């Protein structure tokens, strides 16, 4: 499965039980990396169009937690919690990611994903390669059916728009 709707849209493919998304941004790698690791940046672009993110905890270090809530314009909430495993500034972030409740408890029946995001210098910009590993093909399919590919595509669109402010 591959999706690429525009010239700079995210390119997505599935290999086994891993979803891989790639997107190029015309911005320096250090700046793009900081968009993922600084609270003041991530609240301005994380989440699909029509959703706002509030960060309740963001401790970017191995073992540190990022706990957040995305709220849609119509009042829906989606809580998430990530635990950082590896940080190589400005090249790579590795963390587990899970749907959670407001207290940071993993949501029952939802997958815990391992995400590796690489930030590669490419010409005058940065290519992000995000690999999301699921325990099973069924878990991956569940998240795809929930709209994860479209949601991340919109999230990348918001990141690009925010980067254009710099």
- With cut-offs at 50, 70 and 90, classify the pLDDT of residue 85: very high
**Total structural domains within the chain:** 1
| pLDDT tens digits, 50-61 | 999 999 999 999
Q: In terms of residue numbers, what domain contains 98?
A: 2-163
The torsion defined by the Cα of 2, 71, 64 and 91, in degrees rounded to 10, comes to 40
| pLDDT tens digits, 10-29 | 899 999 999 999 999 999 99
| pLDDT exceeds cutoff 60 at 1 | no
Report pLDDT for 10: 83
Distances 39 to 35, 68, 74, 87, 144 between C-alpha atoms, Å: 8, 10, 24, 16, 27
| pLDDT tens digits, 109-166 | 888 999 999 999 999 999 999 999 999 999 999 888 988 889 999 999 999 999 999 9
Give the CATH number for residue 23.
3.30.530.20
């Amino acid at each position: 499965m591959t999706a690429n709707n525009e010239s700079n849209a995210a390119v997505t493919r599935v290999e086994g039980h891993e979803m891989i998304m790639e997107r190029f941004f015309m911005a320096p790698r250090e700046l793009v990396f900081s968009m993922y690791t600084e609270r003041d940046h991530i609240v301005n672009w994380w989440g699909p169009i029509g959703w706002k993110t509030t960060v309740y905890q963001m401790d970017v270090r191995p073992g540190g937690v990022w706990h957040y809530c995305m709220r849609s314009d119509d009042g829906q909430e989606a809580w998430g919690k990530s635990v950082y495993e590896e940080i190589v500034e400005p090249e790579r972030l590795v963390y587990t990611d899970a749907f959670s409740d407001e207290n940071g408890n993993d949501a029952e029946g939802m997958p815990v994903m391992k995400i590796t995001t690489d930030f590669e210098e490419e010409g005058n910009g940065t290519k992000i390669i995000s690999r999301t590993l699921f325990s099973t093909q069924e878990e991956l399919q569940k998240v795809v059916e929930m709209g994860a590919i479209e949601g991340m595509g919109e999230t990348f669109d918001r990141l690009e728009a925010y980067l254009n402010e710099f």
